[in-house]
Structure 1
């Protein structure tokens, strides 16, 4: 049956409190008045499937930590499955590997008392860097802690520009 449906669309996921929100985008050519959401927890000893019918272009489901889900959304017209559109995604709900070996590779201060610190780290293997961000937190003593969500290219560190001591007063 899945071959008859053609190319699957993408299902995006986001956090919604203690639940997981599934979102999908319907092409203009597909006419659907409802959707059938089917998801299977594949990493259980006996995989378990759940189904939800919804008229919205999203659905809220339980977050299954440290499991793999096979999620499918089907188009429905007048209470029957339609072959006009579908979406699919397999998601591994595991924690990302932590960054290890963070180190300062260079530190300079210019004539305007602006410090530049270059940091580097060991990149975790097998992480999907399109789905996870590396967050760098830093501060001068305990004056302020800043977080920089860092979208970096694997294998490259980052440079932080920090004002000198006049900034801390």
Structure 2
């Protein structure tokens, strides 16, 4: 009853859990130190999203799977962390010739790619080691498609992330 006294209703509890989950996800991204390699940092932020989802499946469901009880922008700050990482790659000329309007599009592609794979792992449709291989390959192909040099993209990913299947 104390929760209902404080928050008022089940809908308010659900909303508070959702807001708290996104705040935690943004904090996880904020805790990743910046390196001189913005592509490696983008990979680390993306990997943190993946690991967060797998590590807190019930909270992840409340954030992403359950329908929000009201319109909000609870996920905006977490999404901004990915968009900022994409901007850093552009500013460092790792993704040359990019229109500024593409930043949000590419951040959404990276976000939704991770979301889909997390959901598949949580549902049991894809084992985690295989999911990490898929994410690594998809990330590499997107970065190359965005204009990064293939060898440089591979080096950044290899530097940023443990080899898929390695102990974490």
- TM-score (ref. length: structure 2): 0.25
**Structure showing the higher strand proportion among its residues:** 1
Higher Cα Rg, which structure? 1
- TM-score (ref. length: structure 1): 0.25
